[in-house]
Amino acid sequence: MAESRISTHVLDIAQGRPAQGIPVTLEGQGLAGIWKLLGKSRTDADGRSNDLYPAKQRLQPGVYRLTFDVSTYFRSQHVTSFYPEVVVIFTLSDAGQPYHIPLLLSPFGYSTYRGS
């Protein structure tokens, strides 16, 4: 699997383990604020998604959006959750750096940050 320069890692902090099988989409914001789909993935057994953007394509500075379909995950766990999806919008200013966006998740809350 090729590793992208935008990656994520989802941890289910209520259960103390990685959140496997969460559908994730990556979009870039274009002209007039229109979003363009750049990649789709699912978190692996370790809760990671490293293949959201083709490794051979260079990222451009701009605004990006990660959308996590957490309802799919919680349904598979037979857990009721408050948020059907988590949307993280961030600015990529230096296209030469990797961007890792972890998501800490529970049925009734979440937190995210720029990781390393």
Q: Evaluate whether 79 touches 108 at the Cβ level (below 8 Å).
A: no
Q: Going by C-beta distance under 8 Å and a sequence separation of 6 or more, which residues neighbour residue 106?
A: 12, 13, 14
Residue ranges of the domains in the chain? 6-110
pLDDT tens per residue, range 35-53: 999 999 999 999 999 889 8
- pLDDT score for 40: 95
Q: Which fold has domain 6-110?
A: Immunoglobulin-like (2.60.40)
pLDDT tens per residue, range 65-109: 999 999 999 999 999 999 999 999 999 988 778 899 999 999 999
Residue for token digits 């037979």? 78
The pTM for the full model equals 0.92
The Cα–Cα gap between 82 and 64 comes to 24
For the record, the structure tokens of 6 come out as 């935008």
Q: Evaluate whether 11 touches 102 at the Cβ level (below 8 Å).
A: yes
Q: Going by C-beta distance under 8 Å and a sequence separation of 6 or more, which residues neighbour residue 74?
A: 80, 81, 107
